[in-house]
Structure 1
C-alpha cells in the first residue's frame, strides 16, 4: 500500500543547474515491492530482516512501507534516462540480494499473486493511526505501485500541469498493469491492485484545479472531513509532492521489468514537459468530467493494454495499444528534446511484443505454469534475469 511516500532524495544543486541551463526536467522513481517466502509463494513479514541486510551504499534509498511484507525504494533524481536505469538496477539488484540473505524473495508485482495470510502493519504510530481510523481497507500482503516524480518550476504552474495530465493517466495505468492474480486465482482484472486501492477515500483522478490556493483548500477540506490524516494521504493519481518541487504521477502498478518502468518514466516526463509548454502558451486543459475519468481508469484496470481503453476525446472505446501510440505521438517533441525518443520506441515495441506484466503472468498460466511458477518468474524478472518458461515449476 502507498501509505506515505516520502519522495525521491534531495536534488543535487549541480544537477538542478544543468537541467535549468538546458531547460530539461529531472525525474525519479519510487517502486514498492512484495516480499515472499523463499520456498512458498506467500508473502512473509521479513522487512526488518531485509533492511538489516541492505548494503550501506543503497540504504538511504530504501524504506518501510505499510505492511511487513513490503519494502520501497526511491531513486535519486536524474536528468538522463540511462542514469535512472542504472540507479534503479543497482537498487533492485541490491535489494533482491538483501531479501535472499534474509530468507525471502523480492517481487515487483501489484499485489500478492498467491494465497496466504494477511500480514501485519509495520510498527509505526502513523500506520496504527491509519488502521484505527480507516479500518481494514488494505487486507492481504500489500499493494505495490510505481510513482514517477518530474520537476516543475513552481506550485502554481504545477497545478495547471496536473489539469493537463488528467486525460492521459488512464493510458499509463493500462501500460503498468501487473496484478491479475490475487489469492491464487485470476481476478478478471489486469490490475487488481487498482481496484483494491480505490477503496481508500482519497484515491482517484485529480480534480480539475483552479489554482494552487484551490489545491490547498481541497487538502484542508479533506483533512477536516477525516478522509485523510494529512497531505501524505492525498492519493490522487497525480499530485504535487509535499517535499520536493515535483509533480508525482502515481496511478500504476509496479512493473516486473525496469524496461517497462523506464518507459513509464519517460512518458511521464514527456507528458509533464508537454503540459508545461501548453501552460506557457496559455492553452487551457480540457475540463474532463470526473465520472468519465473514473470510467477510463476502471477500463484501464480491467483490460490493461491487451483490451480496450476509453478515448477521452471521442468518448469511444478503442484498442488500448492505439491510445498508447497516440500518447507517444502527443509527447514525441518533448521525448526528442530530452533525448528519450529512440529508447521509448524500442521499449514500447518491446512491451507490445511481450505484453504487460499482467499479460505475461496470464500467458504463463495458460501454458500450465502453476501460480508458484508465476511467482518464481516474477522474482527472477524483478532482479533482471531472462527466464525461460521451461525453467518454471
Structure 2
C-alpha cells in the first residue's frame, strides 16, 4: 500500500480579536524547545530566522506556520499523527498568547508580514503586491510513487479529478473582512501566481523536466519550488504532491482529502500500467472546473470529471467515488470516505460552517473563535 502524508498551512490569530498575528517566530521557537524552557516571544521578526523542529516549519508570512506528518500507511495512523502535530503547534501558540485556526484565508483584514528569509525577500520584491498580499493556507497531500515515470503518468491522469478535492475542502469564504462569494477564495489568491492551478499533459518525464526547466529559465519563476500547479512531483520526496485543497477545519476532512488523493494516485498508476491513455482534457476546461469548485464548493453544480458538464455536487462526487472505488476498497478506506463525504454533503464544507457562524452572530471574531475550537478538535 502506498504511504501518504499531509502538509497543512495554519493561521496564527489573537485569542480575543481573532485577527492574524505575526508571531510565527515565537511559535516555532517554542515548538522547537523542550517543554517548560521557552520564554515569551510575541513580536514580529525582522532579521532573525526562527528555530524549526521536525514537523513544524515557517511559511511565507509571519502570520502562519506549516506542519507536516510522517509518511503513513493507513488513515488511523495519519489521523493520529496529524492531531499530534496540530496539538504541538496549538500548545506552542498558547504559550505566547496566540491561537491556531485552520482556515484558508483570514476572515479579518490583515497586512501580511514576510518571514525574514532571503528567498522570501526576493519573492516579495519580484512579485510585488501578489506576494505582499499572499496569506493563504492550503492542504498538500503527498502520495508515494515508485518512480518519476509513474509519477508523471499519475499527474497526467489525475487532472480531471483534482477539482473535486477543492470542492470538498473549500474553507476560505472571507477575504480582507468581506464575504468573497467563494467557497475557496484561496484558489483565487493562488491563481495570481504565474505557474498555478491546472496544468497541461506531460506524456513523459523528459517533457515534465524540460517544461519545469523552461519555466525557470524564462526568469518568470525564481526556481522550481515556484511551480504551484494543483499537482506536481515533489522535489524532496518520492511522491506526487497534490496541492489543490484548502486547509480543512477538522482533521477528519484533511484525512478524507488525503485518502481520496491516494486513491487517485493508485487508480492513475494502474491505468498507466494497463496502457490506458491519459484523458486529453483541455487545460482551459480544467480551469473552468477548478473555478466552479472554488466558487460553489458543495453548494450547487460542479463540472462532472468525466463529461465536464454541470451536475449537482452529489452526482459529480458519486462519479468520483465510483472511479476510485477499487483503490479505496483495497486500501480499506472506502467506508470512511463514503461516510465522510456524506457528512460534508449534509453539513457543508468549512466555508459553509464559517458563513453559518457569521450569519448567526454577525461577528467575524466568532467565526475565528469557532475555527480555533474545531482546529483543536473541540466541537463538531
Which residue of the partner structure matches residue 269 of structure 1? Answer: 262
Q: After the TM superposition, which segments of 4 or more aligned residues of structure 1 sit over 6 Å from their partners?
A: none
Q: In 2, Cα distance between the equivalents of 1:149 and 1:348?
A: 20
Residue in 2 aligned with 1:380? Answer: 373
Q: Which segment drifts farther, 325-334 or 209-218? A: 325-334
Q: Tell me, what secondary structure is at the counterpart of 1:248?
A: strand
Structure-2 residue corresponding to 1:6: none
Counterparts of 1:215-226 in structure 2 under 5 Å?
215-226=208-219
Distance in 1, matches of 2:304 and 2:334, equals: 23
Q: TM-score, normalised by structure 2?
A: 0.93
8 Å contact from structure 1 (residues 138, 196) kept in 2: no
Say whether 1:33 aligns with 2:27.
Answer: no
Aligned to 1:103: 97
> Normalising by the residue count of structure 1, what TM-score does the alignment of the two structures yield?
0.90
Would you say 1:71 and 2:65 are equivalent positions?
yes
For structure 2, the residue ranges without an aligned partner over 5 or more in a row are 35-51
Map 1:45-194 onto structure 2 (within 5 A). 45-54=22-31, 59-116=53-110, 118-140=111-133, 142-194=135-187
**Pick from 217, 222, 236: which aligns with 1:243?**
236
Q: Does 1:234 align with 2:227?
A: yes
Q: C-alpha displacement at 1:53, in angstroms? A: 1.7
Return 340-349 or 69-78, whichever deviates more: 340-349
Conservation of the 8 A alpha-carbon contact between 1:55 and 1:94: no
1:306 and 1:29 map into 2 onto residues whose CA distance is 26
Per the alignment, residue 13 of structure 1 pairs with none
Which position in structure 2 is the counterpart of 1:4? none
Q: Which residue of 1 aligns with 2:46?
A: none
Return the alpha-carbon distance in structure 2 between the equivalents of residues 49 and 73 of structure 1. 15
Output aligned runs, 1:209-220, within 5 Å: 209-220=202-213
- Deviation string, structure 1 residues 265-314 (Cα, Å, up to 9, x no partner): 00000110011110110001111001101111111110011121112432
Deviation per CA, 1:127-158, whole angstroms, max 9, x where unpaired? 01111211121344711000000001100111
Residues 191-340 of structure 1 aligned to structure 2 (within 5 Å): 191-340=184-333
Aligned residues of 1:67 and 1:120 also touching (Cα < 8 A): yes
Deviates more, 1:236-245 or 1:316-325: 316-325
Cα distance in 1 for residues equivalent to 2:63 and 2:171: 18
SS at match of 2:196: coil
Hey, what's the Cα distance between the residues in 2 that align with 1:315 and 1:97?
Answer: 44
* Matches of 2:244 and 2:220, distance apart in 1: 19
In the superposition, relative to structure 1, how do residues 34 and 65 fare at CA in structure 2: closer, same or farther (>3 Å)? same
CA distance in 2, matches of 1:354, 1:98: 31
List per-residue Cα deviations over 1:73-95 (Å, max 9, x = no partner). 01000001100000000011111
Alpha-carbon distance in structure 2 between the residues aligned to 1:238 and 1:139: 24
The Cα of 1:224 is off from its aligned counterpart by: 1.2
Find the partner of 1:360 among 353, 361, 364: 353
Q: SS at the partner of 2:17?
A: coil
Q: How many pairs are equivalent?
A: 363
Deviation at 1:239, TM superposition (A): 0.4
RMSD: 1.4
- Residue 189 of structure 1: CA displacement? 0.6
User: Whole-Å Cα distance in 2 between the matches of residues 319 and 90 of structure 1?
Assistant: 36
Query: Could you tell me whether the CA contact under 8 Å between 1:41 and 1:375 is conserved in 2?
Result: yes
Partners of 1:148 and 1:249 within 8 A in 2 = yes
Aligned-pair distance for 1:369? 4.3
Cα distance in structure 1, aligned partners of 2:195 and 2:16? 37
Moved more, 54-63 or 149-158: 54-63
Q: Which moved more, 1:287-296 or 1:140-149?
A: 140-149
Contact 1:255/1:357, CA 8 A, preserved across alignment: yes
| Cα deviation, residue 56, structure 1 | 5.4
Deviation per residue, 1:54-86 (Å, 9 max, x gap): 165893100000010010001000001100000
